[in-house]
Amino acid sequence: MPYRPALSRMLPYVPGEQPPPGKYIKLNTNENPYPPPPAVIEAIQKAATGPLNRYPDPMATAFRRAAADALGLPGPEWVLAGNGSDEILTMLVRGFVGEGQKLRLPYPSYILYRTLADIQGATWQQTSFVDDWQLPAAFGQADDDLRLVLIPNPNSPSGTLVDKDDLESIAQGLSCPLIIDEAYVDFASDDPKQFGKGCIELVQKHENVMITRTLSKSYGLAGIRFGFLIAQPSVVAELTKIKDSYNCDALAIAAATAAMSSQDWLRDVVTKMNQTRGRMHRELAEMGFEVTPSHANFVWCRHPSGGHQGIYETLKKAQVLIRYMDFPDWGDGLRISVGTDEQIDACLALIRRSI
């Protein structure tokens, strides 16, 4: 078949294992172990009464209003809704990077960025994080061929944060957009005044700074697929041209709108998960793991005696799924999502027995 040459050079993006619900304690894809707020279920039930024979609002206006209100943005024109933040990332790469052009990302980070570049027939340039998971100066170097720079903040798999001031200087030195993927930002700050703010201030100051967010993690809605872009209105207007006409369905828009309006629920669930994360960190460190301090709903850890893949497999046999990750030229380790306290007890007990 006459596929585009870019496809023959690609390997498929392999997402985390998604077994049917029930069989495993699932700590491998950074979902929320708790169900979404009751207001979300009510909103879905109400939306299911119709009219489902009609197309949904193409711009998800109710959601954009609720998001702007919850995040203190000047208005809904600063928000673009998508079918998961992966779709928003797809729109950004499609919008800014053409065949043969280049994007830059840190390493190790979210593997999907490379896949999106490959689909475009673009090239990518990886800059390794330095030892303490900060970015080397080379990451901000201007380059005429560069069309997009992407960074998850907090990063995955490390859960670490790059300072806002560093991101601002990077953005100012670039002649292309800087995309800050804030999928995990709600878990990042212990300061209630900073909750959920992330780098919004930078978006308001610089047209080339754009943020992606998701409802799959802190809001507990991985199953409905909803994410969004925060960018200056001119950017949102331009990217609207390349989105699918009806990219978010009516049930998802209703659910996501109710979720954005449930900020008290969100703060409570995040506080609870961050407490569990602290306990995971302490107990893994007591077992001899090097645990990276996390600002996300997972922890990244490595044992000096290795054996990470074996630990992953032992846990899988005992119906506990965590993530084993091996990054060429960097090393391997385990990424464990925050679960309920009971789930984490079971997971830690198994790890204790398998090291």
Give the footprint of ligand PMP on this chain (CB under 6 A). Answer: 84-86, 110, 152, 156, 181, 183, 214, 216, 222, 227
Alpha-carbon separation of residue 281 from 141, 296, 337 (angstroms): 35, 12, 11
Q: Residue 306, Cβ neighbours under 10 Å: how many? A: 12
Closest distance of CB 212 from ligand PMP, Å: 7
The minimum distance between CB 108 and ligand PMP, in angstroms, equals 11
Smallest separation (angstroms) from ligand PMP to the CB of 259 = 13
* DSSP state letters, 242-311: TS-TT-S-HHHHHHHHHHHT-HHHHHHHHHHHHHHHHHHHHHHHHTT-EE---SSSEEEEE-TT--HHHH
Q: Report d(CA 313, CA 284) in Å as an integer.
A: 18
Task: Count CB-CB contacts under 10 A for residue 208.
Answer: 19
The CA radius of gyration of the chain, in Å to the nearest whole number, is 20
Minimum distance between the CB of residue 216 and ligand PMP, rounded to whole angstroms?
3
Nearer to ligand PMP, 92 or 346 (CB): 92
| Residue (96 or 110) nearer to ligand PMP, CB | 110
Cβ distance to ligand PMP smaller for residue 185 or 250: 185
Closer to ligand PMP by CB, 210 or 346: give it: 210
Q: How far is the CB of 12 from ligand PMP (least distance, A)?
A: 15
Non-local (6+) Cβ contacts of 73 within 8 A are 67, 79, 200, 230
What is the 3-state composition of the chain as percent helix, strand, coil, each rounded to the nearest 5?
40, 15, 45
Question: Nearest approach, Cβ of 70 to ligand PMP (angstroms)?
Answer: 17
Cβ neighbours of residue 237 under 8 Å, at least 6 residues apart?
A: 77
- Residue closer to ligand PMP (CB basis): 127 or 214: 214
Q: Report the residue number, 24 or 172, with the smaller CB distance to ligand PMP.
A: 24
Considering the complex, state which of residue 33 and residue 346 has its C-beta at the smaller distance from ligand PMP: 33
Instruction: Give the contacts of 105 (CB within 8 A, at least 6 positions apart).
Output: 113, 114, 124, 125, 126, 127, 149, 150, 151
Whether the upstream peptide bond of residue 108 has omega within 30° of 0, thus cis, is yes
Q: In the bound complex, what is the minimum distance in angstroms from residue 154's beta carbon to ligand PMP?
A: 8
| CB nearer to ligand PMP: pick between 183 and 346 | 183
**At closest approach, how far in Å is the CB of 318 from ligand PMP?**
24
Collapsing DSSP to helix, strand or coil, 183 comes out as coil
Which residue lies nearer to ligand PMP by CB, 86 or 283? 86
> What does DSSP assign to residue 83?
S
Closest separation in Å from C-beta 30 to ligand PMP: 6
